[in-house]
């Protein structure tokens, strides 16, 4: 991992950042005034984005719990990790399966400064952290092999990250390359904000005008396209609140974020 001084030098506190902005919305403390200012502005435009952030985090917990508990997955590759909060991937997975192995991938300097919080593990399992780039999927897979056995199924987690890839075709290619490097029986988990309401579109425009690295909300069918060639688990690509909610049959709030889980045949 890079020297701490070098990492800190890369942190820009003059512009909002998606990881810090999201951290603010989920109640975290790892954010700066510039992130809170745009967060408060966007909450005035579209209060529902707070629900998107929190429900997306809950989606992570439910999908990891299902894959580790019901599908027997023991390896997770979490790309675009973001800042640590409660119930990170390794915590959820290792509560269910103490021998689970998790590799986190991110190249954001502030996330890197908090990487040690993601490196705790049960004695039976293992966690690792890669300072690596989604735009170099082959390098991600090669580095992940130091911790994961890529001859056995892996759950690839890409949550609230692909919106940073402006070109949809390129985003699909990146996902496809990562999945090509994983064996049959592996899973893909994706969630992202969607252009499914005027409020979400306005919030996205406001964020992208703030000077931050743009984040592009997509149509639902574009989210679905990431799963081409995979076997979708029920209930398919749905608002994240509707993916196997904890209280079966209870009414759930619909949000402008869709996600799903697909299995590689």
pTM confidence score: 0.90
pLDDT score for 6: 60
Contacts of residue 23, defined as CB under 8 A and 6 or more positions apart, other chains included, come to 29, 30, 31, 35, 82, 83, 85
pLDDT score for 121: 93
For 168, the token pair is 């949809």
- pLDDT tens-place values along the chain, 265 residues long: 455 556 556 677 778 877 787 788 888 778 888 889 888 988 888 888 889 989 999 999 999 999 999 999 999 999 998 887 778 999 999 999 999 999 999 988 777 777 766 778 999 999 999 999 899 999 999 999 999 999 999 999 999 999 999 999 999 999 999 999 999 999 999 999 999 999 999 999 998 888 888 999 999 999 999 999 999 999 999 999 999 998 765 567 889 999 999 999 9
pLDDT score for 1: 47
């Amino acid at each position: 991992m890079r020297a701490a001084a070098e990492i800190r030098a890369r942190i820009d506190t003059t512009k909002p950042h998606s990881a810090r902005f999201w951290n603010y919305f989920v109640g975290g403390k790892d954010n700066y005034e510039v992130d809170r200012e745009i967060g408060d502005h966007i909450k005035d435009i579209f209060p529902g984005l707070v629900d998107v952030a929190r429900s997306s985090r809950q989606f992570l917990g439910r999908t990891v719990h299902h894959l580790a508990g019901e599908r027997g997955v023991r390896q997770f590759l979490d790309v675009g990790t973001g800042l640590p909060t409660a119930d990170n991937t390794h915590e959820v997975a290792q509560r269910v399966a103490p021998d689970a192995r998790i590799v986190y991938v991110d190249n954001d300097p502030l996330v890197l400064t908090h990487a040690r919080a993601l490196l705790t593990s049960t004695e039976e399992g293992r966690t690792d952290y890669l300072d690596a780039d989604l735009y170099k999927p082959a390098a991600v897979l090669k580095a992940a092999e130091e911790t994961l056995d890529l001859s056995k199924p892996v759950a690839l987690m890409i949550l609230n990250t692909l919106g940073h890839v402006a070109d949809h075709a390129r985003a699909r290619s990146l996902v496809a390359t990562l999945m090509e490097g994983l064996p049959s029986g592996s899973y893909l988990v994706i969630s992202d904000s969607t252009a499914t309401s005027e409020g979400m579109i306005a919030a996205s425009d406001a964020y992208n005008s703030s000077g931050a690295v743009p984040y592009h909300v997509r149509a639902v069918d574009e989210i679905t396209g990431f799963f081409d060639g995979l076997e979708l688990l029920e209930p398919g690509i749905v608002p994240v609140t509707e993916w196997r909610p904890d209280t079966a049959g209870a009414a759930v709030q619909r949000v402008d974020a869709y996600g799903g889980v697909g299995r590689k045949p």
